A and B are shown apart, each in its own frame.
Chain A
Amino acid sequence: MPEPVLALDGIAKSFALTAALADVSLELLPGEIHALVGENGAGKSTLIKIMTGVHQPDAGTIRLAGTAVTIADTQAAQRLGIAAIYQEPMVFPDLDVAENIFISHRDLGLWMDWRRLHEAARREIERLGVTLDVRRAASGLTLAEQQTVEIARAISLDVKVLIMDEPTASLSAHEVARLMAIARTLKGQGVAVLYITHRLEEVFELADRVTVLRDGRHISTKPIAEVTPDALVRDMVGRAVDHFVPKAAAGPHGERVLRVRGLAREGVFTGVGFDLHAGEILCFSGLVGSRRTDIGLALFGIQPATSGSIELDGEAAQIESPKAAMGHGIAYVSEDRRKLGLAMALPISANISLPSLRRLLGKLGLIDRRAELAMAEKHRERLNIRTHSVALEVGKLSGGNQQKVMLAKWLETEPRLLIFDEPTRGIDVGAKTEVHAIINDLAARGVAIIVISSDLPEVMALADRVLVMREGRQMGIFAIEDATPEGIMSLATGERPAAAA
């Protein structure tokens, strides 16, 4: 076995009274892709932050090519050849691609030589096998392109260890493929890639070895040939968990709730039409940028449609604002928990009661705090929100539990049409299964449901029908019996003409 580029030995780290990491060891070899998996809270983020100099370990040693080192800060990590890219790309929107790539370089002299800079940037981008205009401002780039810029920045620094922290969480399938190709290219150039992901299929497709963390402890490190998906999940959650089983046939439906025809928003999407029945789950599938979310935003009145018709229970409805949508019994569980969904600094109870405050008004028109707490308690039990108190700030919960709080908030409005946007993005396997169970349960009780999801296995497991979008156009609708992941993808990527559906 070659000598490890980076070796962590017996790393421990505590914050206040909680131990985030205890006795974790990890060796990264040159030219390997090493997957790091674990549920949320397993200590992956803390480990990354120690490797990039954001945190200092309480105990343990870090050796770089055999020499013990201290990584005092992010600059020190860069000097040592350790770089990280994150789920949310860290680019400078106002600077152009080339400057974004070389922003960390210290050795380019006092003055900017723009021509040389652009040429060097073009070479870095080409090394990744991607086409991108290096003079464009980063603000106009897609998420995947911004990530490419970040990777180019890392490798331009002659990186030996590249940490990719859930790089595919927001990417569409063909962007994921491109990212994986980049990872393999880097591996071929002798870089050690540490790849953190929630998607196990990526682990098996990409990784040479896989390390599992659980509750801040190192559970296992194995060559990929020696592990199975089931064993990996068992290691991660410490118990066996069912896989997502693809749905074989559509569930029973009731009356038609929603009828959409020719829905469009100028410059965003066009030609969307479908029916949705009580108890039915309709999934919107498509690549990132296919404008799936925008249809959800239009149905909920955040960005109203500019033409087309929406009928609810056979009556034409004008949905010009979220208030109007809520009046029609529509609820929207947002993908962006931080921006559109939750008030992070407020307690769980206040978040849940927010859209339903009118029903909580007691004497003198003030909010009945006891009723509010009871409301929150009810949902805590029903949705299994893990917290010692509903008075806790939402920001302190894990991603999965935050998602449940958001769901509780909308369930309290008793919607008959629920729109979920990426309901399980960034939450761990166990919580995903729970969220799926909740969605299925709601459908069984007759709620009409739209799920917008990038996660194909999730779509296959949840949907009764699948609507495929591509670049603002509806490409077709599959009944679940006719849907295959390959069929959906070929429509979403445009490999197959729309007429085929």
Chain B
Amino acid sequence: MTGWLRSVHPQTLRVTALALVLALVVLFFGSQIDNYYTARMFNRISTSVAIILLIAIGQALVVITRNIDLSVGSIVGFTAYLVGDLLVAQPDLHPLVVVAAAMALGAALGAVNGVVVAYGRVPAIIVTLGTLAIYRTILVEYSDARSITTANLPKWVVELPQATLFSIGDLDIRVTVAIALGVALVVHLALTRLRAARRLYAVGSNPDAAAIAGINAERVVFTAFLLSGALAGLAGFVFLARFGNITVVAGLGFELKSVAAVVVGGVNIFGGSGTVVGVVLGTTLVDVIDNSLTRWALVSEFWRDALLGMLILIAVAADTLMNRYLDRLRRKRHMAELSAGTLPVPREAG
């Protein structure tokens, strides 16, 4: 009965399980919430997922190297506000310049994390907890209690969230969603195919071995933080376009959401493994639950964070239990093969 379990890669098992849970969750809320299976609901959730997905992908890159980036929420708020400010002052900037500026700003903030973690050798959790507070405080000081409002933004930004790339039946795929999925595809290809990107896994898997193998671990970790910052910057721009009205609390709590998405998506919190497919599923699951709970009359909105936290714990626990179970299976099979005498005998070199 358990024979097939052994032949399946743990990562495949995880992705399948995630997809299954996601389907069950959607079915459940569909039965609880009126007008759940509508194009409007799909848009609401997909554009929300797009923002978190960008952050979660960056977070995954960092977590794979055995680090964590808690400052992403503050970076999102920071870039959303500053890019909004820039657009108010110079409404005629080319959209690509604006996007580049958002990513550059995010990258700069990520670089600060990267330098201190990789070269200063301070634990990432401490560094990014610090910058989480620092970036937010700088933003509060800078904003001087002003808000960015939709009225002051150029037309193309305000209309961007409604812009549709193509439609499948009733369902519109928004440009912002396409951007996020595009980034996911690029990072997926890089992580599986790009030689330099494989070093992220190497460093997270065994830092000492990485050093001995001649891998510049500091540069790899720095790059991960840089990219995480840049993607948070991009998410900041999408956030600005989606909401239009930006105050200093923009992106608050996104670090929890992104860590939840990454961990639920099967990225090992101790580094070394994780896939973009998992992160996409993890993000979708986390955000579907989050968005559906706001619509569900039965649950107060204060419970949403607690549920997010519980989801992280369940994901980690399920992962640990599954690995232990697979381990036991492997050992049992080993013993069985021994008594059956089918284990291959090592060949001696001649």
Interface on A for B, CB 8 Å cutoff? Answer: 74-75, 78, 84, 90-95, 99, 103-104, 108-112, 128-131, 140, 153, 174, 177-178, 181-182, 184-185, 267-268, 270, 471-472
Cβ-neighbour of B195 out of A93, A110, A472 (below 8 A): A110
Query: A109-B195, A129-B349 are known contacts; what are 18 more A-B pairs with Cβ within 8 Å?
Result: A90-B206, A90-B213, A92-B206, A93-B272, A94-B268, A94-B272, A95-B201, A99-B198, A103-B198, A104-B213, A104-B215, A108-B195, A131-B347, A178-B349, A181-B349, A185-B349, A267-B328, A471-B335
A267 touches B335 (CB 8 A): yes
- Asked if B194 is at the interface (CB within 8 A of a chain A CB), the reply is yes
Q: Return the chain A residue nearest B272 by Cβ.
A: A94
B217 smallest CB distance to A (angstroms): 12
Shortest Cβ distance from residue B171 to the other chain A in the assembled complex, whole angstroms: 34
Give the nearest-CB partner of A90 in chain B. Answer: B209
CA distance A332 to B346 in the complex (A): 33
Minimum CB–CB distance for A93 against chain B, Å: 6
Pairwise interchain contact A92-B205, C-beta atoms closer than 8 A: yes
Residue of A108, A111, A130, A140 touching B347 (CB-CB under 8 A): A130
Tell whether, in the assembled complex, residue A181 and residue B195 are in contact, meaning their CB atoms are under 8 Å apart: no
> Which residues of chain B have C-beta atoms less than 8 A from A94's C-beta?
201, 204-205, 268, 272-273
* Interface of A: prevailing SS: loop
In angstroms, how far is the closest chain B Cβ from the Cβ of A15? 20
Q: Does B348 have its Cβ within 8 Å of any Cβ on chain A?
A: yes
- Could you jot down 22 A-B contacts, CB within 8 Å? A74-B212, A90-B209, A91-B209, A92-B202, A92-B206, A92-B209, A92-B272, A93-B272, A95-B198, A103-B213, A110-B196, A112-B192, A112-B193, A112-B195, A128-B349, A129-B348, A130-B346, A130-B349, A178-B349, A182-B349, A185-B349, A270-B335
Query: Is B169 engaged at the interface, CB distance under 8 Å to the other chain?
Result: no
> Which of the four size classes fits the interface of chain B?
20 to 34
Q: For residue B335, give the distance in angstroms from its CB to the closest CB of chain A.
A: 6
How far is the CB of A473 from the nearest CB of chain B, in Å?
A: 8
Provide the bound-state CA to CA distance between A84 and B348, in Å: 23
Given A74-B214, A93-B272; A267-B209 close (CB under 8 Å)? no
Enumerate chain B residues within 8 angstroms of A75, measured Cβ to Cβ: 214
Is B305 interfacial (CB-CB < 8 Å)?
A: no
Tell which of A74, A94, A131 has the most Cβ of chain B within 10 Å: A94
User: B211–A74 contact, CB under 8 A?
Assistant: yes
A-B contact count (CB 8 A): 88
Q: Which of B188-226 contact A (CB under 8 A)?
A: 192-196, 198, 201-202, 204-206, 208-215
Closest A residue to B337 by beta carbon equals A471
B206 — which chain A residues lie within 8 A by C-beta?
90-93
CA–CA, A184 and B347, complex, Å: 15
A471 & B338 in contact (Cβ 8 Å cutoff): yes
- The answer to whether A103 and B193 touch across the interface, beta carbons within 8 angstroms, is no
- The docked-state distance in angstroms from the alpha carbon of A182 to that of B349 is 7
The answer to whether the Cβ of B3 comes within 8 Å of any Cβ in the partner chain is: no
> Which 6 pairs across A and B sit closest by C-beta, in order of nearness?
A129-B349, A94-B272, A90-B209, A181-B349, A75-B214, A92-B205
Which chain B residue shows the least CB distance to A144? B346
Across the interface, do B195 and A95 meet the contact criterion of CB distance under 8 Å?
no
Return B17 CB to nearest CB of chain A, in Å.
19
Query: Residue on A with the closest CB to B338?
Result: A471
Min distance, Cβ A138 to any Cβ of chain B, angstroms = 8
Give the distance to chain A from B340, nearest Cβ to Cβ, in Å: 12
Residue of B nearest to A117 (CB): B195
Which residues of the partner chain A approach B201 to less than 8 Å between Cβ atoms? 92, 94-95
Q: Is B40 an interface residue (CB 8 A)?
A: no
**Identity of the chain A residue whose Cβ is nearest the Cβ of B330 in the assembled complex:** A140
B209-245 CB contact bits vs A (8 Å, 1 = yes)?
Answer: 1111111000000000000000000000000000000
Q: For A185, what are the chain B residues with a Cβ–Cβ distance below 8 Å?
A: 349
- In the complex, how many angstroms separate the beta carbon of A208 from the nearest chain B beta carbon? 18
Whether A111 pairs with B335 at a CB distance below 8 angstroms is no
List the A side residues contacting B213 at CB < 8 Å: 90, 103-104, 153
Residues of B within 8 A of A177 (CB): 348
Contact of B202 among A84, A95, A140, A182 (CB under 8 A): A95
Question: In the complex the two chains form, what is the Cα distance from A174 to B345 in whole Å?
Answer: 11
The one of A109, A112, A140, A178 that contacts B348, using a Cβ cutoff of 8 Å? A178
Cα of A268 to Cα of B327 in the assembled complex, Å = 11
Q: How far is the CA of A38 from the CA of B215 in the complex (A)?
A: 32
- Which chain B residue shows the least CB distance to A180? B349
Contacts of A268 in B (CB 8 A): 331
Are A110 and B331 also in contact (CB < 8 A) when A74-B214, A92-B206, A181-B349 are? no
